[in-house]
Structure 1
């Protein structure tokens, strides 16, 4: 019997709160503290760094605890952690986008101390919700097609959530703007109400969907249908971005560290995330301070980027069929679009500022193509070694979050002024041209090193755990082989989840 429709739809909305808050976090945290709060640029960068590092450090801890706790209030262990995460996000996130309570006139360093705990609590809650929601998929259904479908519906709500954030913010400018406000090019303290309303709206919407998730979705009772050792391995896979499902081969974390392709693809993935996130963070500042476009473009331009990126992600299926799953070739295509967008951005000024919409279309096409193909390359790298796939995903996620935090801190440190001054106008042109363009060039060089080899094919010296000969020490391997056919229909799910997400 298949998973009921209400369970599928209930599951699909369980990550909406995370999607909404993450969209606001990456798109508007820096611009809010820079232009609205007139906050010290270095301290704003440190807030972003604290959030990224916290997320990276919390992920494996929460995954391990989620596997080894019994849950509370009859919710099940996954939904229990999801509820904890939801409460943490809802209670902490609004404080990040509101002025310091009783200390609005305090120096920036004291405000930093005020905001930092809310950022850490938010990232803890965000990671708790993400990991528990992803690890619930294999618990809900054993059918491979249903798992892929759950990820597909989940991704659809991610798209809708991002579109909702930018659309709502645009409407807030229309509703709260007056004649004098519409002629103002830069955001300022008078726009604090718009950000505050945006955050309250997205948190309220997210809570509605989270409540629906908890009322509709029933977490199944786990049955010990595998041996204890296999369950230990299988449960451990949920301690990262995605949950691998079964023990199948013999690569360990130490084996990956001896594999050259692991570092090559990690470099490609890290550069891809840097390209996407740095562009998303500094695009609102570029259009308002460099191009002097109306303030509502901080909502319109990210909306255009996301729509074009969504179109590119849909087009990846026929592109992959044409290129024969040559993910590196598709990645080069994304690099071409991305570098073209960076070059176009460099030559824009106030006289031809409206051309920015063409540049951001290329930015969305390039970033989405690079991201989808780098995820596919990671999946190809893991191949059938799903027993250590969680380590690979976790390593990629860690480099992503840490590098983004460091990059933002460096950009903020190199800012020509502490808060805001005329020197800002040309600075963001340089940031959006040379940082994404530079990491795209590094990604291209890394791709060139991958051309001589096939992704996922490893030499014998890279497979540290070799299958013992029949009858030798390792008779247990025979029993392992006897068990694996029962699990064979679950092997490909790891690849399907990563490609969908």
Structure 2
């Protein structure tokens, strides 16, 4: 007879550890599709459109801007609607999972077309092709927002205590780490196996390589999403939900009056801006400014991410005497060092060795500063 292990948690309640682990893994894997798509979007979107499809820098930037605007508009819309979805399907399946399913379908049905040549219009004018790609980008961003918001809002639905919620959040972050590493490793493998990535740069002839990369990582994301929907069961306590919403509305009103919220939001937004700009533009910097081969487009972002993980581990071990402000100042100093170094150096040693140090400095700064900015100022 299988032994059942139990763990004591808050308020003298007990939960089956095996069930808890299944819940945590099943939940955490539900955001893998979003994570791999986000990694491809921010790291390789401009590379693909500017260097492979040969859109102008302005046209590629406008397409990315369209995506970010749609994401910004759809995120609060999805959050508002997912709280109020109440129909026969949501009653049986779960309102959060229903929105997650909708978002997954949108992502799967649109993202492969973004990283492919224009079907039936490859010879058309670039401005005409922009309408084609913009349509799929908007569908993708709406779906991405639906998956992200529904997945995050499942945490209080699945867990009644802070102990389990913390574990769910940690597992979710762990799968995000796996997803980003997986994308960069697959990119390096595909570029390495299918050509002389140590000598040649990325160009129009590499469109099929990016298409294969997308198919591989999205296949893994699809399997992860299926596992999530089969293994996670959402609670349907709508009456309790309505009571919590009424109480939450009062809490939110009081929260929005606190100046600290706007201070933290401004600092966090600035930090994310630096991180996103670096992630988006560094691949183009490697190719256009430094003239590095295709291999660098996978290896340098991988080094950046590994440096970020190392920084996260060191930060967790730092003494309590080091405040969040000190962490943030350290991250800012690392970022400024990296950017100044980029501005000053272009010799062969820099291109061969020091570019990895610069990449690590920038991503260390992003991780340390973002983690410090998410907590209230001390």
TM-score, normalised via structure 1 length: 0.68
Q: Deviations over 1:146-197 (max 9, x none)?
A: 000000011000000000000000000111014xx6422x210111111111
**Partner of 1:168 in structure 2?**
186
Give the total of aligned pairs: 358
CA–CA distance in 1 between the matches of 2:319 and 2:27?
A: 29
CA–CA distance in 2 between the matches of 1:83 and 1:233?
A: 28
**Partner of 1:12 in structure 2?**
28
**Partner of 1:231 in structure 2?**
245
**Partner of 1:328 in structure 2?**
325
CA–CA distance in 2 between the matches of 1:113 and 1:38?
A: 16
The answer to whether the 8 Å contact 2:110/2:139 transfers is: yes
Q: Deviations over 1:451-498 (max 9, x none)?
A: xxxx4xxxxxxxxxxxxxxxxxxxxxxxxxxxxxxxxxxxxxxxxxxx
Q: CA deviation at 1:359?
A: 1.0
CA–CA distance in 2 between the matches of 1:31 and 1:225?
A: 48
Matches within 5 A, 1:181-330: 182-184=198-200, 186-222=201-237, 224-225=239-240, 228-234=242-248, 251-253=254-256, 255-256=257-258, 259=259, 261-319=260-318, 321-323=320-322, 326-330=323-327
**Where in structure 2 are there 5+ consecutive unaligned residues?**
1-13
Q: Tell me which of 64, 83, 98 is aligned to 2:101.
A: 83
When residues 319 and 348 of structure 1 are mapped into structure 2, their CA distance, relative to the original with a 3 A threshold, is same
The answer to whether the 8 Å contact 2:49/2:60 transfers is: yes
Structure 1 residue 94 corresponds to structure 2 residue 112: yes
Q: CA deviation at 1:266?
A: 3.0
Larger Rg: 1
**Partner of 2:137 in structure 1?**
119
**Partner of 2:340 in structure 1?**
343
TM-score, normalised via structure 2 length: 0.90
CA–CA distance in 2 between the matches of 1:164 and 1:44?
A: 25
When residues 358 and 249 of structure 1 are mapped into structure 2, their CA distance, relative to the original with a 3 A threshold, is closer
Q: CA deviation at 1:70?
A: 2.7
**Partner of 1:104 in structure 2?**
122
**Where in structure 1 are there 5+ consecutive unaligned residues?**
237-246, 382-454, 456-501
More helix by share: 2
Higher relative contact order (CA 8 A, sep 6+): 1
Q: Tell me which of 47, 57, 68 is aligned to 2:63.
A: 47
Segments of 4+ moved more than 6 angstroms:
none
The answer to whether the 8 Å contact 1:16/1:209 transfers is: yes
Q: Deviations over 1:194-251 (max 9, x none)?
A: 111111111111000000000111112215347x5543344x6xxxxxxxxxx65861
Q: CA RMSD in A?
A: 1.9
